[in-house]
Amino acid sequence: MKIFVTGGTGFIGGHFLRAALNGGHRVLALRRLGSRTRVPLTDEPQWVDGNLDDDLSAALSGCEALVHLAALGVSPQKAGWRDLFAVNVQQSLCLWMRAVEAGVRRFVICGSCLEYGTSGERYDFIPTDAPLDPITAYAASKAAASMAAMALGRERKIELLLLRPFHVFGEGQHESNFWPSLKAAALAGQDFQMTEGEQVRDFVPVEDVAEAFVASVSRPGLLPGKPETRNVGTGRPQTLRHFAEHWWAHWRATGTLRVGALPYRHDEVMRYAPLIKSIK
């Protein structure tokens, strides 16, 4: 299948490219001029240099699917409200409209579990129809983009699947995020400071997330004008402390895991656990 993908140089995007190319798909990947993937690739996609709001009609022509992974503000990026909404909503919508006009029939769009925000604490397992109650500018921009995408799918009668990954980790993740920084301390024999770790999260390996996106490109049963939303996770939530202790032991760390050395964030959502539904 011929796929156009955005965000291919990002964390999830690099793993998606690897999985899609290994699966025999023909991939065109949008990138900013000079940007490079976070993970090594054995094969390269056909790179398209540009931005989301460029006229990409020629590149989109003949593509059967659009996989939209690009986003501004992914941790640890910092961006303001205007920039977040300009890129994640307005520029993304510009690309989607051009894809519709180019005849792309299937859209697979990456949302975020952070769109649920404080709704996470109102559910043992968050369903995809839970209210979106984001608490950050990034999460709000992703929620707005999700709503726009779903409405576009209905209005233009396209096949659209919105995937919301939960707490993704793995190789290629920015070193300041939790799992990479935990690994760096463990391998260096250093102590690692963290909170009490009572936050409940669904930590999902990035390879599994990439495979979920690749599978969605050709998933049967997705109907035009009937967009769907899916949570992407393991379905096995655990506390941050349990996650840290598991990997600390896995790496045979000689330093001390200093649980409780850091305070919780003032806006910490203590539970993000997705309801995972099997696809028939």
pLDDT digits (tens, 9 = 90+) for 181-221: 999 999 999 999 999 999 999 999 999 999 999 999 999 99
Q: What integer is the mean pLDDT of 222-251?
A: 98
Statement: residue 8 has pLDDT above 80: yes
Strands 200-201 and 238-239: antiparallel
User: Which residue matches tokens 């240099």?
Assistant: 49
- Tell me the percentage of the chain whose pLDDT exceeds 90: 93
Residue 18 has pLDDT above 90, yes or no: yes
**Would you say 167 and 129 are in contact if contact means Cβ atoms under 8 Å apart?**
no
Q: How confident is the model at residue 125 (pLDDT cuts 50, 70, 90)?
A: very high
Sheet with 228-232, strands from edge to edge, namely 46-49, 26-31, 2-6, 65-68, 106-110, 159-165, 228-232
Write down the pLDDT at residue 35: 85
Q: Domains, the chain, ranges and CATH?
A: 2-169+203-232 (3.40.50.720), 178-200+236-272 (3.90.25.10)
Model confidence band, residue 279 (pLDDT cutoffs 50, 70, 90): low
Tell me the C-alpha to C-alpha distance, in Å, between residue 157 and each of 103, 140, 183: 11, 26, 45
The helix (H) or strand (E) run that includes residue 177 is none
| Alpha helices (runs of H) in 77-200, residue ranges in sequence order | 81-85, 92-101, 137-155, 178-188
Mean pLDDT calculated for residue range 258-263? 98
Looking at per-residue confidence, does 164 or 42 come out higher? 164
Confidence of residue 280 (pLDDT cuts 50, 70, 90): very low
User: Does the pLDDT of residue 64 top 70, yes or no?
Assistant: yes
**Average pLDDT of the chain, as a whole number:** 96
pLDDT tens digits, 127-181:
999 999 999 999 999 999 999 999 999 999 999 999 999 999 999 999 999 999 9
Please give the backbone phi and psi of residue 247, each rounded to the nearest 5 degrees, phi first: -70, -35
| Alpha carbon 168 to chain centroid, angstroms | 8
- In the chain, what percentage of residues exceed pLDDT 70? 99
The per-residue pLDDT for 248 is 98
Q: How far is CA 137 from CA 83, 107, 176, 195, 266, in A?
A: 10, 24, 20, 24, 15
The whole-model pTM stands at 0.95
